[in-house]
Amino acid sequence: MSGERRFSAFDRGCCPHLITLSLFLRSVVANARLNWYACGTTYEHTRQVSKRQPVELRGRHASNALRRGELDSPTPRLRPPLCLSSSRAKLTMRANPYVVRRACAQVGHGGLYHSQSPEAYLAHTPGLVVVMPRGPRCAKGLLLSSIRSKDPVVFLEPKILYRSAVEEVPDADYEIPLGKAEILRPGTDVTVVGWGAQLRALRNACDLAAREGVSCELVDLRTILPWDADCIVKSVKKTGKLVVSHEAPITCGFGAEVAATVQRECFFHLEAPVERVCGYDTPFGLVFEDAYLPDERKNLDAIRRAMEFGA
């Protein structure tokens, strides 16, 4: 059927978050190619187009216009959500508002390919904004900011929060700025950093550490890219220790970027090695979720190691 979406063999044999990323990048490339054909196949056409009022062409209207040959004229101009645009003899990238919502992370009963966290994949795409909220109140403010952002945004939603997170969410319109971390609990002994649903385990770990007399400063990164390095560096310079935790596998996880930045910026302030508490480098099914997840006990052990090293 003409309206049926076709998947390649790679898509059928791959996990869902890679299928989403594949389709997303395909749409970007397709829109960029159409825009290049539409807004200036020659430099002379580009110069003439820049002096005229562009005609908006979207979706099937743009495809029909291309087939009919109407875009050979310099007047029409295609403006898809993400595209390349030509300016005289120079190529530039233009990113218009574009938000992709994507469920991620473990849910408590997910299958082998349904409980993964792809934030590190997406963070390797320059120009994207990657967001992961920790709960309903945070999700509303970040989503409104994402919709109104001038950059393309991938909005990752931990699936377990759909049924387990309960908060009072204001009816009023409000935004939470992108690229800004939030200190959920001030502390003086160790900085604990996480994002998304992992904040639940980190809160519990900080509560357990408080019973042992350890004051933890808990920080929610909220935006993976661009991330608030200044907030983390300032906190680590105060506490001298860092524990960063996420569900994604430890190798090349985004926690490695946080650790590397802190190592460079806070070298003379660190009192202990940076601790990373993450998932293992292996797929995991339902029966292995409890063993795979970096829960509060694993994070509490990391906090203890940091405190013992700095004692």
pLDDT (tens place) for every residue of the chain, 311 residues total: 444 444 333 344 445 555 555 655 555 444 443 343 333 333 333 333 333 444 444 444 544 554 455 444 444 443 444 443 334 434 444 556 789 999 998 887 766 777 889 999 999 998 899 999 999 999 999 999 999 999 999 999 999 888 887 889 999 999 999 999 999 999 999 999 999 999 999 999 999 999 999 999 999 999 999 999 999 999 999 999 999 999 999 999 999 999 999 999 999 999 999 999 999 998 887 888 888 999 999 999 999 999 998 66
CA 43 to chain centre: 37
The pLDDT, as a whole number, for residue 27 is 53
The pLDDT, as a whole number, for residue 197 is 93
Question: Cis (ω within 30 of 0) for the bond into 226?
Answer: yes
Taking Cα atoms as reference points, which of 184, 214, 205 lies closest to residue 293? 205
Taking Cα atoms as reference points, which of 105, 210, 111, 117 lies closest to residue 164? 105
Structural contact between residues 243 and 306, judged by C-beta atoms closer than 8 angstroms: yes
The pLDDT, as a whole number, for residue 89 is 37
Q: What's the CA gap between 118 and 120, in Å, rounded?
A: 6
pTM of the model: 0.72
The pLDDT, as a whole number, for residue 5 is 45
The pLDDT, as a whole number, for residue 25 is 56
